[in-house]
Amino acid sequence: NAGVTQTPKFQVLKTGQSMTLQCAQDMNHNSMYWYRQDPGMGLRLIYYSASEGTTDKGEVPNGYNVSRLNKREFSLRLESAAPSQTSVYFCASSEIADTQYFGPGTRLTVL
Amino acid sequence: EDKVVQSPLSLVVHEGDTVTLNCSYEVTNFRSLLWYKQEKKAPTFLFMLTSSGIEKKSGRLSSILDKKELSSILNITATQTGDSAIYLCAVGSNTGKLIFGQGTTLQVKP
């Protein structure tokens, strides 16, 4: 039982490049989330998916897109990376209301 | 606008000290308040509080919610170096989303 897994762990991009962050959970949870964490700002919600087939914007969605591929997988895409997107990205999932379980994170640097 | 504010933002104590971390919130349609501990990687769940005045306890950690004051505290007694971490407070609403505070960075010195 791996919980929530994320790939890659680290990534360096040049401005304008694109990439997809992958997230998978094996807990059969309905809801999945993408957050970014910047120093002094806690976790900010980018997008979430309350159930398979649905996605909604969070607090900071600009510059990102998501795909809920199936119940297990929820990916985050940066179409044209910008230095302001340098951050640590966390994926999370939940079943019981509000208790979310987090993946290990992806540290992204955009030069 | 919904917001969650934690204080202090950082704290340095010595082993054996007791610490109290604060979380206050202004969130429409409040449903729950959660505490997480974040060491080097992913936040890990500590407590979820939904009812005012009922203390939740796990070992040396305890937490209580005050819905009248729109706040919660997290207490850690007899601190150890392994308690060094960022402690995150989050509030859940009927939207199903969590709103996080900035976090409190705790450093426990030997």
Q: What is the pLDDT of residues A18-72, one digit of tens each?
A: 999 999 999 999 999 999 999 878 899 999 999 888 999 999 999 999 999 899 9
**Given CB atoms, is A44 within the 8 Å cutoff of chain B?**
yes
- Chain-wide mean pLDDT for chain A? 93
pLDDT of residue A97: 66
pLDDT tens-digit series, residues B5-24: 999 999 999 999 999 999 99
Query: What integer is the mean pLDDT of A6-11?
Result: 96
pLDDT of residue A79: 92
Q: Which residue has 């934690």 as its token pair?
A: B6
CA distance A99 to B101: 16
| Shortest Cα distance, chain B CAs vs residue A82, angstroms | 23
For residue A1, is pLDDT > 70?
no
pLDDT of residue B53: 85
β-pairing verdict for A56-57 and A74-78? unpaired
The candidate with the shortest Cα–Cα distance to B90, out of B108, B68, B63, is B63
Nearest Cβ partner for B97 among A45, A90, A104: A45
* Interchain proximity B102–A31, CB inside 8 Å: no
Partner residues linked to B91 by β-bridges: B33, B99
Interface with chain A: mutation pick from B2, B9, B100, highest number of A CBs within 10 Å: B100
Question: Distance from first CA to last CA of chain B, Å, rounded?
Answer: 41
For residue B41, is pLDDT > 90?
no
pLDDT of residue B1: 85
Chain A hits for B39, Cβ within 8 Å: none
- Chain-wide mean pLDDT for chain B? 94
pLDDT tens-digit series, residues B51-73: 888 899 999 999 999 999 999 99
Of residues B96 and A56, which shows the higher confidence score? A56
pLDDT-above-90 percentage for chain A: 85
For residue A101, name the pLDDT band (cuts at 50, 70, 90): very high
* Interchain proximity A104–B31, CB inside 8 Å: no
